[in-house]
Amino acid sequence: AQTVTQSQPEMSVQEAETVTLSCTYDTSENNYYLFWYKQPPSRQMILVIRQEAYKQQNATENRFSVNFQKAAKSFSLKISDSQLGDTAMYFCAFIRGEGAQKLVFGQGTRLTINP
Amino acid sequence: SQTIHQWPATLVQPVGSPLSLECTVEGTSNPNLYWYRQAAGRGLQLLFYSVGIGQISSEVPQNLSASRPQDRQFILSSKKLLLSDSGFYLCAWSVLGQNTGELFFGEGSRLTVL
C-alpha cells in the first residue's frame, strides 16, 4: 500500500522568507503522480503543484517549486518570497498512474506566514 | 465553469441519530466523486468514491455509507452516529478517466457528534 508522510506538523516563517515543506512517500509503483494541495483557513482545498514521476525536471508554478528525488522517494515543496496569503494547511498527495482513482494524502503541515 | 457544493456546513448531532450530508457538482458530466474525512493530525482519509451512478467503492469499514442517486449527486449517510464519526467531511470530484490527481473540493461539512 502506498503511504505519504509529512514529518512537520507545523511551520512558521516571516513574510518574504523562503520555506520548504517535506514529504516522503512509499510505493513500489514506477508510474505515479505527486501533488501538493493547499487548504487555506476558508477550508476549500486547491491544487498547488503536480509532478509526474517519469519527469526528471522539477515542477514549478510561480513562487512554488518542488524538489523531487525519486530514488529517495522525497517530494518537498519550496515557497519563495512567502506571502501572508500562503498561510494554510499543505498536504502532500500521491496517486498511481494506471487507472487509479484514489489520491493518498499525507497528514498535512500547518504553515503560518508572519508579518 | 464547474462548481461543487456540499451541505450542511456545520452539523451537531446526538449519538445514535441519523446523518445525511449532500454534495452536488454543476457544470460537468460523469465526474468521479469522493468523500474524504479530515481528522486533526491525520490528514485526509478516503471514505468512498464513485465512478458512476449507483457505483460506490468503500475504502474503510465503518458506520457510514454513501449513495449516488444521480450523476452529480453524492450523499454520505449513517443510520446511527457514533462519537467517532465527528470530523470534517470533504466532498470532491475529478474528471472521469483522468487520473492526473487533480481533485476539486467542496467547502466541507463539520460534524460534531455529542
Task: Say if residue B99's pLDDT is above 70.
Answer: no
CA nearest to B105 within chain A: A45
Mean pLDDT for the stretch of residues B40-68: 87
**Are A93 and B105 a contacting pair at CB < 8 A?**
no
Instruction: Match 467547502 to its residue by C-alpha cell.
Output: B107
Rounded (5°) CA angle A58-A51-A100: 160
- Please name every residue paired with B111 in a beta bridge, in sequence order, or none if there are none: B11, B87
Query: Of the candidates B88, B73, B78, B86, which has an alpha carbon nearest to the alpha carbon of residue B5?
Result: B73
- Helices and strands (H and E) in chain A: how many: 0, 12
Encode pLDDT of A10-53 as tens digits.
Answer: 999 999 999 999 999 998 888 889 999 999 987 789 999 999 99
C-alpha cell at A99: 487507472
C-alpha cell at A36: 501538493
**What pLDDT sits at residue A98?**
59
Q: How confident is the model at residue B41 (pLDDT cuts 50, 70, 90)?
A: low
**Are B43 and A103 a contacting pair at CB < 8 A?**
no
Biggest CA-to-CA distance, chain A: 44
Local structure of residue A80 (DSSP, 8 states): -
B42 near A CB under 8 A? yes
Query: Of the candidates A81, A18, A23, which has an alpha carbon nearest to the alpha carbon of residue A49?
Result: A23
C-alpha dihedral over A43, A112, A104, B68, to 10 degrees?
Answer: 0
C-alpha cell at B68: 449516488
C-alpha cell at B28: 460537468
Mean pLDDT for the stretch of residues B71-83: 95
Amino acid of residue A72: A
> In 3-state terms, what secondary structure has residue B77?
strand
> In 3-state terms, what secondary structure has residue B110?
strand
Amino acid of residue B28: T
A49 near B CB under 8 A? no
HSE, CB side, 13 Å, CA atoms: give it for residue A66.
28
B26 near A CB under 8 A? no
